[in-house]
């Protein structure tokens, strides 16, 4: 992340017209994820999955790319605003230390998956397992500034957000020329495998002291420009087979939420229904102010999704009317809707309670 941005974050002052409130609703937020929420971790890795160049960040702070795969802010950035928290520093940033990490850290890494091998075709990335390890290293830093009692209270009142799984399909299961997953597992068994690994990592975070978990399902991958361009469904349609696959994962994740809440009464686990929220946007785009739902704002080829946004490409001007920024990622306008629904949405969006209600949960 740019040095100037980190200094602004650490100073907890106005950032792009938004002000951190005096009383954040959580002690901190720790975010685990992939390119949907990476704030620049991959800037520090040897990876093809980077967004540290123009036009990424065209609507971000001073129009500068930070490593976010968006024209502006990610859903984590925007959820943090609603919670009164500053922009989270990227874990890999050298300045993510000391006072700069007290309000939380984002561990998300582009191309990362629940499985270690997912995304390996794109180079280095922090898989979910490595993100948990990175959280442990942050925890060791926090132990230097808090005693055991203070740290326990701090972690119990912090929010853990997990947005992972897309790359386990896009950069694993759906690439049979590079991965054997689709030959070994049918979609149901593959979802089982993902949930097994996912559960292990969530319980590891629980064992380290976190107690409030917002676990977000996978969106409708069959509707992103990349899949529309490669699979070429009928006009106005999504790739139903892909949506059915991720739907099986989401069903199991929601079931896992019930299991975890029953077996860990001192914690709260919440399911974020991104699949449903995103589907609502695609079905009713004009109600949300969108006019373009099937192509990227920045990209090349069919649906502007065959090749994703390249350096110095000129993006569309009507970005607030586009659902998708590039071949894979939503615009800031969509991220803002998703953040708002996560924060204050009904049980259809967040089950069994929303993030705002999680803040008051004891």
| CATH code 3.40.50.300 for 3-219+243-291 | no
Q: What is the pLDDT of residue 298?
A: 97
pLDDT tens, residue by residue, 36-93: 999 999 999 999 999 999 999 999 999 999 999 999 999 999 999 999 999 999 999 9
User: 35, 127, 158, 181: which one is catalytic?
Assistant: 35
pTM comes to 0.93
Q: What is the pLDDT of residue 228?
A: 98
Q: What is the pLDDT of residue 23?
A: 87
Q: What is the pLDDT of residue 22?
A: 53
Q: What is the pLDDT of residue 10?
A: 35
User: 10, 38, 127, 329: which one is catalytic?
Assistant: 329
Give CB contacts under 8 A, 24+ apart, made by 122-127. Answer: 122/47, 122/48, 122/49, 122/171, 123/45, 123/46, 123/47, 123/48, 123/49, 124/42, 124/45, 124/46, 124/47, 125/42, 125/45, 125/47, 125/49, 126/41, 126/45, 126/91, 126/92
Distance CA 19, CA 40 (A): 22
Q: What is the pLDDT of residue 362?
A: 76
35 is catalytic: yes
Q: Cis omega before residue 352 (within 30°)?
A: yes
Residue 249: count other Cβ atoms within 10 Å of its Cβ: 25
207 is catalytic: no
Helix (H) / strand (E) element for 292: namely strand 292-296
DSSP secondary structure of 199-222 = HHHHHHHHHTT--EEEEEPP--GG
Q: What is the pLDDT of residue 16?
A: 36
Q: Which segments in the chain show pLDDT lower than 50?
A: 1-21
329 is catalytic: yes
User: 77, 168, 326, 349: which one is catalytic?
Assistant: 326
Q: What is the pLDDT of residue 189?
A: 98
Contacts of 306 (CB under 8 A, 6+ apart): 226, 229, 230, 299, 300, 327
- Are β-strands 212-216 and 159-163 bridged in parallel, bridged antiparallel, or unpaired? parallel
Q: What is the pLDDT of residue 13?
A: 34
């Amino acid at each position: 992340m740019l040095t100037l941005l980190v200094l602004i974050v650490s100073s907890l002052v106005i950032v792009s017209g938004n002000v951190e409130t005096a009383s954040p609703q959580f002690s901190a937020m720790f975010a685990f994820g992939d390119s949907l929420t990476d704030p620049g971790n991959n800037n520090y890795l040897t990876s093809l999955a980077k967004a540290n160049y123009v036009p990424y960040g065209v609507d971000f702070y001073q129009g500068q790319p930070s490593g976010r795969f968006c024209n502006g802010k990610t859903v984590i950035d925007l959820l943090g605003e609603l919670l009164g928290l500053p922009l989270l520093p990227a874990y890999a940033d050298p300045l993510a230390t000391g006072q700069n990490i007290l309000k939380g850290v984002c561990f998300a890494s582009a191309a990362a998956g629940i499985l270690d091998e997912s995304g390996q075709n794109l180079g280095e990335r922090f898989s979910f397992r490595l993100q948990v390890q990175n959280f442990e290293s942050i925890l060791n830093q926090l132990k230097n500034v808090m005693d055991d009692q203070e740290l326990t209270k701090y972690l119990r009142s912090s929010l853990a957000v997990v947005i992972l799984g897309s790359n386990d399909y896009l950069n694993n299961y759906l690439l049979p020329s590079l991965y054997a997953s689709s030959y070994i597992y049918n979609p149901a068994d593959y979802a089982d495998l993902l949930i097994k690994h996912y559960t292990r990592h969530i319980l590891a975070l629980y064992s380290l002291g976190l107690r409030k978990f917002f676990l977000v399902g996978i969106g409708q991958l069959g509707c992103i420009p990349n899949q529309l361009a490669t699979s070429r469904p009928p006009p106005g349609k999504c790739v139903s087979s892909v949506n059915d696959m991720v739907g099986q994962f989401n069903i199991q994740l929601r079931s896992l939420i019930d299991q975890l809440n029953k077996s860990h009464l001192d914690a709260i686990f919440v399911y974020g229904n991104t699949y449903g929220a995103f589907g609502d946007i695609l079905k009713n785009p004009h109600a949300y102010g969108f006019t373009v739902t099937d192509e990227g704002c920045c990209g090349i080829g069919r649906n502007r999704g065959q090749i994703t946004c390249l350096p110095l490409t000129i993006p569309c001007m009507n970005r607030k009317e586009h659902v998708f920024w590039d071949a894979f990622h939503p615009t800031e306008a969509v991220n803002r809707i998703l953040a708002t629904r996560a924060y204050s949405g009904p049980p259809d969006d967040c089950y069994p309670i929303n993030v705002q209600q999680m803040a008051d949960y004891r």
